[in-house]
A and B are shown apart, each in its own frame.
Chain A
Amino acid sequence: DAGVIQSPRHEVTEMGQEVTLRCKPISGHDYLFWYRQTMMRGLELLIYFNNNVPIDDSGMPEDRFSAKMPNASFSTLKIQPSEPRDSAVYFCASSFASDTQYFGPGTRLTVL
């Protein structure tokens, strides 16, 4: 199995631009999670899905952030418009039921 796949691995953009991060979970997993990691705030859960349905988005910082999961094999996290404080590493993870979460390699986002 290829594991959780995230793209792009690195993204550099300018303030005000739209950013879209992509995730392909492990086949057969029914949960998908989006996390953000920064030095200041550590690892934060942004949103998670169960069977493609958003369950808890209380960690989404504000309306500039949105996430979708149109099918079991694909999810996106979008930031529009982006701001410098959004610079972080964004991780996607997937799991089957309440078992182990498997993490992708992350997308390092830099907003100038």
Chain B
Amino acid sequence: AQSVTQPDIHITVSEGASLELRCNYSYGATPYLFWYVQSPGQGLQLLLKYFSGDTLVQGIKGFEAEFKRSQSSFNLRKPSVHWSDAAEYFCAGGGNTGKLIFGQGTTLQVKP
């Protein structure tokens, strides 16, 4: 069955530190992959997406993600976290059906 897994439910990092949020997928073929961010009381906002081509994808707010087929992973990274990055992050996978499968989400807390 198709699935997207975010192993970390909650992560705390210090402001200015680097960040990596993990995402693993299980699909028959290479899925379309997305990272979304949700601030409290808000809807989900797209950070970046991967469809094909270059496996290192740049997104908004200084985020990037790398698609690694051998590891079935699409981890999100940021070199230096800001307090405003505190939010919930969702990884999602999809295909030609248009439907997305979302991970459980990772809540990021940023310490001053």
A positions within 8 Å CB-CB of B: 4, 31, 33, 42-43, 45, 48, 50, 55-56, 91, 93, 95, 97-98, 100-106
Tally the A-B contacts, defined by beta carbons under 8 Å: 45
In the complex, what distance in Å separates the CA atom of A43 from the CA atom of B103?
9
User: Which residue of chain B lies nearest to A97 when distances are taken between CB atoms in the complex?
Assistant: B98
B residues whose Cβ falls under 8 Å from a Cβ of A: 32, 34, 36, 42-46, 49, 90, 94-100, 102, 104-105
Interface residues of A, dominant DSSP: strand
Hey, which chain B residues are within 8 Å of A104, CB to CB? Answer: 43
Determine if A98 and B96 form an interchain contact, defined as CB atoms under 8 angstroms apart. yes
A104 to B: closest C-beta gap in Å: 6
CB within 8 A of B102: which of A43, A98, A102? A43
Q: With A33-B100, A48-B99, A91-B44 given, name 16 new contacts (CB 8 A).
A: A33-B99, A42-B104, A42-B105, A45-B99, A50-B98, A55-B97, A95-B98, A97-B98, A98-B32, A98-B95, A101-B34, A102-B46, A103-B44, A104-B43, A105-B43, A106-B43
